[in-house]
Amino acid sequence: MQIITTKAELEQNVQACKMKGQTIGLVPTMGALHEGHASLVRRCASENDVTVVSVFVNPTQFNNKEDLAKYPRSLERDAALLESIGAHFVFAPTPEEMYTAEEMNEPFRFDFNGLDSMMEGAMRPGHFNGVVQVVSRLFYLVKPDRAYFGEKDYQQLAIIRFMVGCSSLAGTFGDLQIIGCPIVREASGLALSSRNERLSAEEKQTALAISKTLFASQKWAKEPNATVKEVEQRVVDTINAVDGLEVEYYQIVDQTTLLPTDTFRHAIGCVTVYCGPVRLIDNIKY
Closest CA to 26 of 163, 133, 137, 152: 137
C-alpha distance across the termini of the chain, in Å: 40
Of 81, 73, 97, 82, residue with least CA distance to 10: 97
Number of residues in the chain? 286
**152, 282 Cβ separation under 8 angstroms:** yes
pLDDT at residue 115, rounded to an integer = 84
Q: 47: which residues sit within 8 A by CB, 6+ positions away?
A: 23, 25, 146, 179
> Quick one: 49 exposed, middle or buried, by C-beta within 10 A (0-12, 13-18, 19+)?
middle
Widest pairwise Cα distance in the chain = 60
The confidence score (pLDDT) of residue 170 equals 55
Question: Can you give the three-state secondary structure of 173-213, one letter per residue?
Answer: CCCCEEEEECCCECCCCCECCHHHHHCCHHHHHHHHHHHHH
37 is catalytic: yes
- pLDDT tens, N- to C-terminus, the chain (286 residues): 999 999 999 999 999 999 999 999 999 999 989 999 999 999 999 999 999 999 999 998 887 778 788 787 889 999 999 999 999 999 999 999 999 988 888 878 888 888 888 898 888 888 898 999 999 999 999 999 999 999 999 999 999 999 898 855 656 777 899 999 999 999 999 999 988 989 999 999 999 999 999 999 999 999 999 999 999 999 999 999 999 999 999 999 999 889 999 999 999 999 999 999 999 999 999 9
What ranges in the chain are assigned the alpha helix state H? 7-19, 35-47, 65-70, 75-84, 95-98, 101-105, 120-123, 127-142, 154-165, 201-220, 228-240
Q: How confident is the model at residue 216, as a pLDDT?
A: 98
Point out the catalytic residue in the list 37, 88, 127, 266: 37
CB 158 within 8 A of CB 135: no
User: pTM value?
Assistant: 0.91
What pLDDT is stored for residue 173 in this prediction? 79
Question: Given this model, what pLDDT does residue 212 score?
Answer: 98
